[in-house]
Amino acid sequence: MTHEQLREALPMFALNALDAADAHEVSRHVGTCPECQRELTLLQVATTRLATSVAQVSPPPRLRVEILDAVRPPRMRLKRGRIAIALGAAAVAMLVFVTLLASITQRLAMLQSRLAVQADVLSTLASPSTKTAALTGSVGARVRLIYDPASQRGALLVSALGDPGAGRVYQLWLIAGTQPRSAGVFRPAVGETAIVPVNADFMQYQAVAISIEPAPNGAPQPTAAPILIGRL
């Protein structure tokens, strides 16, 4: 088979749906082709995730034979009436693969972002000039602002703070005298500690507060009394 034919056979190889001779030929090619090695790895990840996310049902033996006959690569003498089935199966497999790949990519990006924030928090904690302000108020939650006036870096650590409600977000304020300045908005995930990066010249402010404001971007100035407040 040509390189393109071997590459087209990779989805069936990942599903263990090739006969021994063709599987051997594909395996031998993959061992010498980095491009096909990468594609096969992604296909195997996708098929593994698909297999564990769908309830298993045993098909009738005849159905398995007909499907395997229908989706064999070109060299395997496909019957003319089954070419459409093969193309349809390939399209479904590609759709599943693309969907799973997009989901994995999104989760990796989110994980990388969280790791970057956590690394920044650890760096702030390691500074000898780090300070902590505990926020207290009308809700039962553990909320602390950890900040370093020297580097002007900090992070709000939020635990056990409930959902602010539909169409609402929590908004963080830094207060100088009687003038509040928005330091960002957030919605904590249930059961997780939220980490909200805060960068500011903390020496200019005397207090920090949280109020509930309209989603998604909060308000230019507080529209409600703060539910939590702490002194810097």
Handedness of CA 139, 188, 168, 153 (dihedral sign): positive
pLDDT at 117: 56
pLDDT tens string for the chain (232 positions)?
787 777 777 777 776 767 788 888 888 888 888 888 877 787 676 556 544 544 455 556 665 565 556 555 555 444 444 555 665 666 666 777 667 667 667 766 665 666 565 556 656 556 778 899 999 998 888 999 989 898 898 889 898 898 999 999 999 999 998 899 999 999 988 777 788 889 999 999 999 999 999 999 999 999 999 999 999 9
Domain with CATH 2.60.40 in the chain: 131-231
Q: Which fold has domain 131-231?
A: Immunoglobulin-like (2.60.40)
pLDDT at 134: 93
At position 36, the amino acid (one-letter code) is: C
pLDDT at 77: 45
pLDDT at 9: 76
pLDDT at 71: 52
pLDDT at 130: 86
pLDDT at 109: 65
Q: Any idea which residue has 């030929």 for tokens?
A: 25
Helix (H, G, I), strand (E, B) or coil at 73: coil
| DSSP string of 138-196, one letter each residue | SS--EEEEEEETTTTEEEEEEES-----TTEEEEEEEEETTEEEEEEEE-PPTTS-EEE
Least Cα distance to 197 among 92, 123, 142, 117 occurs for 117
Cis ω before 216 (30° cut-off from 0): yes
pLDDT at 164: 92
